[in-house]
Chain A
Amino acid sequence: MSKAGMAQFQQVFIEESLEGLDTMEASLLALDEGGDAELVHGIFRAAHSIKGGAATFGFPEMSAFTHEAESLLDEIRGGRRAIDGGIVELLLRVVDCLRGMFARAQAGEPLNDELADGLRRELAALMGRAEPVAAPAQAAAAQAGAWRIDFRPRPGMLAGGNDPLRLFRELAALGELAVVADLDRLPPLDRLEPTECHLGWRLELRGEATREAVAAVFDWVEDECELAIEPLAAVPAPAVPGASDSPSAPAAPAGRAAREGGAESGSVRVATDKIDGLINLVGELVITQSMLDTFREGVDASRLALLEQGLAQLARHTRELQESVMGIRMLPIASVFNRFPRMVRDLGRKLDKQVRLELAGEQTELDKTVLEKIGDPLVHLVRNAIDHGLETPARRRAAGKPEAGTLRLEAFHRGGSIVVEVADDGAGLDRAAILAKAVQRGLVAADAVLDDEAVAELIFQPGFSTAAVATDLSGRGVGMDVVRRNVAELGGSVVVRSEPGRGSTFTITLPLTLAIIDGLTATVGNERYIVPLVSIVESVQLQAEAVRAVVGGGELFRFRGDYLPVIRLHEMFGCDGAVREVERGLMIVVEADGGRVGLFVDGLAGQQQAVVKSLEDHYRRVPGVSGATILSDGSVALIVDVAGLVRLQGRRRAA
């Protein structure tokens, strides 16, 4: 096989093995919580596949390592060893170690490290061996010569697919073969069963074949025949040049396959029914197209209804096709959720807290890009919930709660969005501590009066942390502000709801896809801009006096008791012919990153779905613009990056 061919399957092997490791991990955790023995079989199968695949695809070290774990699992599977917390712990470390090996395999680095060597020794020691099993020594060179072979198959051998003729052909390849049939056991014709074998054979093989080579020919039928292989000592063996290559002799060991294939896999595994759906839709589209094609010759009034029908069909199929194609990028959030049982277990142990993890809505599908980027924010929220949210068992008991805290991760659809919630039943946000910290940090004035919502918002401020002693878990210099920014980069938002003594719930709202946004088309002079619907709070028409210039530049207007900064899009983007008088234009109040600003535009030209085209790919990054789209008349409109504008505004004010 070509190197590229092998590398392709090596990549598939790595991907499926990583999935297998996820399964192993989940099953080990379930076992730890008293899951049934059937789980062991699944774990064994995963390890077994990795061992076999690793050897096949050029990772002998990984194969040898996994072999140790597999042996242990085999003992458990066979009931020769009871599984306990210690073994689960050890096997979880094996899973981690293998993940590391795969990462190094993809990076083209040596697979073994001290961790792997240590674990291997630990596994061997557990199974009562001082050292890991060494590779079996090569058998000593065997004696070659001539052989007499008595071969009598059992009657049923043919049904098993083994044809004596094949065996003789293989023997003939080893030397000079003489065959004599033995008809002793042939029944009379009326009792002869034609599908059975009643013959026996006496064979003489002269040449340089070893006993092993001869026996190897019969390896598949040993149990289905009477076989005797004796040296044909008395007879001198005539040399048969070029006939000594055994077809069954072991070939060269599998060569190390090319380490090609990038570390990042850009591929998506798609369920077959999704593809079938697409093919079906494309078929429909083709039919509609050919139907509309009949109007090429011209449209007369009598066929107008048909044309309308065709266009309606086209619209429907296009929309369905769009949804289906989007669906291909959609993957269940389970792949992200699945990492949490392990993490929660480890964290709980480390912090001496009892945590019961509930997962719900694992099958909710997210865009692949969103899925890849939502992991870190979720990890942070989960860490925070266990570290700061949930109380110690003693404190929970004192508060009249069950000792084990509950952490619930749930994903679901709401409208056109995906919602992911991280909820704990811990102590809730500590209002006093947050306020004190905010005052100390100069985020709010000491005498400020804030409602609960405003206090909760404070934790999303940069550099905010209330833990008196930064633990090594949450105190990583990453705060909730980063979570909010990460989520905002995905076009989403995060809010927290908290009740003292009852717990906190963080709610992340994400768009279904990043490829299409719902937006309002705003006109500014001769240009049109798309403002994402998710960030729009309200549009208002203001009187001239509602907008006031501020000392040092900039303008403010009053909106629901707040003063919001004004961003005039025509100034921002330098548009000609735009409306300048406040009372003739429109103020779109937008919100992002917890800040609100007013975007001043000429007016609105309707709502539409915009297919996002990257500006960076075609031009360069432009502040305040997240991308571009093509409008129905073929012209280009820029998509306003609301979060970027809000940040820009903040910086301008700070300057």
Chain B
Amino acid sequence: MAKILAVDDSASMRGMVSFTLRGAGHEVSEAENGELALDAARGERFDLVLADVNMPVMDGIAMVRELRALDAYKGVPILMLTTESHADKKMEGKAAGATGWLVKPFDPEQLLATVRRVLG
């Protein structure tokens, strides 16, 4: 069981991710933009962060950059949830410090497989 932070401005996407991960026994917190995610991440250390790219207030790329600047988040897996049509966003996310990505649309099985991949 891992502590996971799911960041997405879309309630349905957040809900689907949390529901799936909780079903697999993980403890999931949610945040609806980068800024709120940073607040949450400063309050407790998550084992994995899943973040949408395109969000209001603070987007996923900026969030990753700030998160990586925190000592507690060096080496913590951060995955970007991104769409196929934005290949450049994957690299932008990587440059900002993301571990990898999961391409939208994904189904619960793909999500769990990816999470297993980073959490071992």
Q: Are B109 and A251 in contact (CB under 8 A)?
A: yes
Q: How distant is the Cα of A67 from the Cα of B84 in the complex, in angstroms?
A: 11
A255 to B107, CA, bound (A): 8
Q: Which B residues lie within 8 Å of A8 (CB)?
A: 15, 19
Chain A stretch 226-257: residues in CB contact (< 8 A) with chain B:
247-248, 250-255
What string of 1s and 0s marks CB contacts (under 8 Å) between A153-190 and chain B? 00000111111001001100000000000000000000
Contact of A45 among B56, B83, B106, B113 (CB under 8 A): B56
Q: Cβ of A158: which chain B residues have Cβ within 8 Å of it? A: 75
Which B residues are CB-close (under 8 A) to A150? none
- Counting CB contacts under 8 A, is A392 at the interface? no
> Does A52 lie within 8 Å of B104, measured CB to CB?
yes
With a cutoff of 8 Å between Cβ atoms, the chain A residues found around residue B29 in the complex are: none
Whether B20 and A162, one on each chain, are in contact in the complex, defined by CB atoms closer than 8 angstroms, is no
Contacts of B85 on A, CB cut-off 8 Å?
Answer: 67, 70-71
Q: What residues of chain B lie closer than 8 Å to A252, measured between beta carbons?
A: 107, 109
Q: Which residues of B contact A250 (CB under 8 A)?
A: 110
The answer to the question of B120 belonging to the interface, with a C-beta cut-off of 8 Å to chain A, is: yes
A31 in the interface (beta carbon within 8 A): no
B117 with A248: CB separation less than 8 A = yes
Interface centre among A53, A56, A252, A253 (most CB of B within 10 A): A56
CA distance A70 to B83 in the complex (A): 12
A9 and B12 contact, Cβ closer than 8 Å, known pairs A159-B75, A254-B107: yes
Say yes or no for A13: interface residue by CB 8 A criterion: yes
A51 within 8 A of B: yes
Does A48 sit at the interface, judged by CB under 8 A? yes
> How far apart sit A12 and B74, CA to CA, in the bound complex (Å)?
35
Residues of A within 8 A of B101 (CB): 220
Q: Which residues of A contact B106 (CB under 8 A)?
A: 56, 254
Q: Is B76 an interface residue (CB 8 A)?
A: yes
Are B117 and A161 in touch, CB under 8 angstroms? no
Query: Given the complex of chains A and B, what is the CA–CA distance between A655 and B58 in angstroms?
Result: 69
Task: List, in ascending order, chain B residues with CB within 8 A of A9's CB.
Answer: 12-13, 15-16, 19
Report if B11 contacts A (CB, 8 A): yes
Contact of B19 among A5, A169, A247 (CB under 8 A): A5
Tell me whether B105 is interfacial, beta carbon within 8 Å: yes
User: In the complex, what distance in Å separates the CA atom of A537 from the CA atom of B23?
Assistant: 61
Mask for B85-112, Cβ within 8 A of A = 1, else 0?
1000001001101111100111111100
B68 CB, min distance to chain A CBs, angstroms: 7
- For the side of the interface on B, what is the size category? 35 or more
Q: B51: shortest Cβ distance to chain A, in Å?
A: 12
Min distance, Cβ A71 to any Cβ of chain B, angstroms: 8
Please tell me if the beta carbons of A48 and B83 are within 8 angstroms of each other in the complex. yes
- Closest A residue to B110 by beta carbon equals A251
Q: Across the interface, do A160 and B94 meet the contact criterion of CB distance under 8 Å?
A: yes
| Residues of chain B lying within 8 A (CB to CB) of residue A10 | 12
Q: Which chain A residues border B19 with CB–CB below 8 Å?
A: 1, 5, 8-9
Give the secondary structure class of A's interface: helix
CA distance A567 to B113 in the complex (A): 75
Contacting B at CB under 8 A, from A1-31, are: 1, 5-6, 8-10, 12-13, 16
Chain A residues lying within 8 Å of B9, measured Cβ to Cβ, are 45, 49
**Residues of chain B with a CB closer than 8 A to A251's CB:** 107, 109-110, 113
Q: Is the CB of B105 within 8 A of A161?
A: no
On whether the beta carbons of B12 and A1 are closer than 8 Å, the reply is no
Known: A5-B19, A9-B15, A162-B99. A247 touches B117 (CB 8 A): yes
Residues of A within 8 A of B78 (CB): 161
Q: Are B12 and A220 in contact (CB under 8 A)?
A: no
Q: Is the CB of B118 within 8 A of A166?
A: yes
Whole-angstrom CA separation of A8 from B13 in the bound complex: 11
Query: Do B105 and A52 touch across chains, with their CB atoms under 8 A apart?
Result: yes
| Interface contact B94-A52, CB-CB below 8 Å | no
- Least CB separation from B91: chain A residue: A223
Q: How far is the CA of A63 from the CA of B23 in the complex (A)?
A: 27
Whole-angstrom distance between the alpha carbons of A195 and B11 in the complex?
A: 37
Q: Out of A5, A49, A67, A169, which one reaches B54, CB within 8 Å?
A: A49
Contact of A220 with B20 at beta-carbon distance under 8 Å, contacts A12-B15, A13-B10, A52-B13 already known = no
- Contact between B104 and A56, CB atoms less than 8 A apart: yes
User: Which chain B residue lies CB-closest to A45?
Assistant: B54
| Closest beta carbon of chain B to A524's beta carbon, Å | 53
- The digit string for B32-69, where 1 denotes a CB below 8 A from any CB of A, is 00000000000000000000001110000000000010
Q: Which of A16, A170, A224 counts the most chain B CB atoms within 10 A?
A: A16
Q: Tell whether A219 is near chain B: CB-to-CB under 8 Å.
A: yes
Tell me, in angstroms, the Cα distance from A55 to B110 when the chains sit together: 14
Residue of B nearest to A253 (CB): B107
Contact in complex: A16, B117 (CB < 8 Å): no
> Contacts A158-B75, A160-B98 given: A53-B13 contact, CB under 8 Å?
yes
Residues of chain B in range 16-30 having any CB-CB distance to chain A below 8 Å: 16, 19-20, 23
Q: Which residues of A lie under 8 Å from residue B68 when comparing CB positions?
A: 159-160
Contact indicator B94/A223 (Cβ below 8 Å): yes
Q: Which residues of A contact B77 (CB under 8 A)?
A: 161-162
Query: Is A159 touching B97 in the complex (CB atoms < 8 A)?
Result: yes
Contacts of B94 in A (CB 8 A): 160, 220, 223-224
Least CB separation from A57: chain B residue: B12
Task: Kindly provide the distance from the CB of B63 to the nearest chain A CB, expressed in whole angstroms.
Answer: 14
Residues in chain B near residue A159, CB distance under 8 A: 68, 74-75, 97
User: How distant is the Cα of A159 from the Cα of B76 in the complex, in angstroms?
Assistant: 8
Residues of chain A within 8 A of B15, CB atoms compared: 8-9, 12
Residues of A within 8 A of B105 (CB): 52, 55-56, 63, 254
Bound form: Cα–Cα A253–B107 in Å: 7
CB distance from B108 to the nearest CB of A (A): 4
What sequence of 0s and 1s flags, for each residue 55-88 of chain A, a beta carbon within 8 Å of any chain B beta carbon? 1110000010001001100000000000000000
In the complex, chain B residues whose CB is within 8 Å of the CB of A1: 16, 19-20, 23, 108
- The answer for the CA separation of A51 and B56 in the assembled complex, in Å, is 17
Pairs A–B under 8 Å by Cβ, sample size 24: A1-B20, A1-B23, A1-B108, A5-B19, A8-B15, A9-B12, A9-B13, A42-B56, A44-B54, A45-B9, A49-B54, A55-B105, A56-B16, A56-B104, A159-B68, A160-B97, A162-B99, A166-B117, A220-B94, A220-B100, A223-B94, A224-B94, A254-B106, A254-B107
Across the A-B interface, the 3 shortest Cβ-Cβ residue pairs: A220-B100, A161-B99, A55-B105
17 extra interface residue pairs, beta carbon distance < 8 Å, beyond A1-B20, A48-B54, A63-B105:
A1-B19, A5-B19, A9-B15, A9-B19, A49-B9, A53-B12, A56-B104, A56-B106, A70-B85, A160-B68, A161-B75, A161-B77, A161-B118, A219-B100, A248-B117, A252-B107, A253-B107
Interface residues of B (CB under 8 A from A): 9-13, 15-16, 19-20, 23, 54-56, 68, 74-78, 83, 85, 91, 94-95, 97-101, 104-110, 113, 116-118, 120
Q: Which residues of A contact B (CB under 8 A)?
A: 1, 5-6, 8-10, 12-13, 16, 42, 44-45, 48-49, 51-53, 55-57, 63, 67, 70-71, 158-163, 166, 169-170, 195, 219-220, 223-224, 247-248, 250-255
